[in-house]
Structure 1
Amino acid sequence: MLGRLFLKLEFKKVDYAELYLWLGSLMKNNCKQRRQFLVMAAGLLAASVVPAWAAGVSGEVKALEGVAWRNDQPLKLGDPIMLGDHLRTGADSKLVVRLGGDVYLLRANGSLQLENKGLVLGSLRLLSGALLAVFAKSNKQIITPTVTAGIRGTGLYVEASEQSTYFCLCYGEVELMPMHQRSQQFRFKANHHKAHTLDAKGGVEKSPLRNHNDDELAILEALAGRKPHALVG
């Protein structure tokens, strides 16, 4: 199966949905096989990815499991994604979107608003659910009901609710500002997963890693046309 998949990657248009779903099956196998897959996929995807802005489209749906909506309209694989869109996912669903140099994975029952700043993406407002994302080196914000995060060229995972935000800085730098305690700011750097939970009152505590992994991050980086951070070194 591995050989057939990479022949497809080399000689045909990449089927990102199949690639993503196949990665899920690999997570049940051994680490050596996952590593082999990621090393091969990184080079092939980076060579084959055409940036969205070069194609004249702000963004695109790269993978979809279950159901998802853009501005309350059902989405399908390959649909365009534009600045200002509101994205939602249903139960037991996942949506992968590439927008410029960023790639986002919105998990089940998620609600994400893409807020533009002029002609570029200024912030991602995660109203509910969970988001795994990798970013190009440009200044953006992640906004949840309890925190605002300033980011630049990072990988991160966020779970948002009205009561608290779980925030894992997978790698890179971030500045966290509690929504109701603007005078407080927390700066973090990480090379490999540093997680915190921030409550509605501005409290911050360290938290364990949960609900995401390096394999998923590596695939998102490869879809963005970059060498996966997990493979550096």
Structure 2
Amino acid sequence: MTQHLLQGRQEKEILWFQRRDTLKAAAAWLALGGLPGAMAQQRGNIVQLTGDATLNGSQLNPQQAIQTGDEIQTGPGSNLIFVIGNASFQVRQNSRLSVERGNTLNAVSLLRLLTGAVASVWGKGVNRSIVMPTLTAGIRGTGVYAEIFAERDNRNYFCNCYGTVDVGAGNQKLVSQADYHQSFWADSEAKNGVFLTPAQALNHTDEELEFLAGLVDQRTTWQIAGKKGTKDGSGKMTY
């Protein structure tokens, strides 16, 4: 288990992937053919739902399918894992987000995070982004973690766990290229002339990203390389 820093989150929220029922749910999902199998068998695309959540304002049933165009809200103590197209998502408790349609019904063009936090892994593709109140991230094919810190005046936090992401806040834009967790704070007003400032890797683990990558038949950069870096937010591996 890799070391991780927590800020405003409980340990059990970060260790969801270790739960026996979660491991069984993921094994069943993969054994039944993942998303192609779910579509062929007309099953839902929710890998697991723990606790309560709503879909477009109505109670979410674990047998339902989450589609592009839907709005999702999780309650206290909830954890939601689902797959759309070549992207997988893990939604923390007390989160609200929407997924907007891309060029097909099963392609997410935009994930809009309004409250809470979500970890996600995206396969290769174009014209996809994550939008938060003060940050926008253009996704190419990567694993990321995004959180809105309510207790810190809704400050936005974003980590490019691996891959290439176009990050923007205010009038500032940059390209983040990370092998191992490059993290940022995004502010609504510039501080010392900048909207984006470096951050440490907070509130998420390597194992979470590995779990999500496995759901869509992918591997993280550090799994492929067989080595890791330090979680200082720099995005670099140890060479």
Q: TM-score, normalised by structure 1?
A: 0.75
Change in 2 beyond 3 A, CA 1:106/1:206: same
Which residue number corresponds to residue 120 of structure 2? 133
Which residue number corresponds to residue 101 of structure 2? 116
Which residue number corresponds to residue 226 of structure 1? 218
Identity %: 31
Q: Of 125, 136, 148, which residue of structure 2 is paired with 1:160? A: 148
1:110–1:127 contact (8 Å) kept in structure 2 = yes
Task: Structure 2: give runs of 5+ residues left out of the alignment.
Answer: 1-14, 226-239
Which residue number corresponds to residue 198 of structure 1? 186
User: d(CA) in 2 for partners of 1:191 and 1:217?
Assistant: 13
1:112–1:124 contact (8 Å) kept in structure 2 = yes
Describe how 1:63-142 pairs up with structure 2 within 5 A. Answer: 63-119=48-104, 120-139=107-126, 140-142=128-130
Which residue number corresponds to residue 18 of structure 2? 23
Task: Say whether residues 1:176 and 2:159 are aligned partners.
Answer: no
User: d(CA) in 2 for partners of 1:124 and 1:58?
Assistant: 23
Structure with more of its chain in helix, by fraction: 1
Counterpart amino acid of residue 164 in structure 2 = E
User: d(CA) in 1 for partners of 2:38 and 2:108?
Assistant: 16
How far did 1:51 drift?
Answer: 2.6
User: d(CA) in 2 for partners of 1:170 and 1:117?
Assistant: 23
User: d(CA) in 2 for partners of 1:195 and 1:220?
Assistant: 19
How far did 1:209 drift?
Answer: 1.2
Counterpart amino acid of residue 81 in structure 1 = I
User: d(CA) in 2 for partners of 1:185 and 1:59?
Assistant: 38
How far did 1:21 drift?
Answer: 5.3
Q: TM-score, normalised by structure 2?
A: 0.73
Describe how 1:34-53 pairs up with structure 2 within 5 A. Answer: 49-52=33-36
1:127–1:145 contact (8 Å) kept in structure 2 = yes
In terms of mean alpha carbon deviation, does 74-83 or 211-220 score higher? 74-83
The alignment covers a number of residue pairs equal to: 196
User: d(CA) in 1 for partners of 2:166 and 2:53?
Assistant: 30
Q: Of 178, 201, 223, which residue of structure 2 is paired with 1:209? A: 201
Q: Secondary structure at the match of 1:122?
A: strand
Change in 2 beyond 3 A, CA 1:196/1:55: same
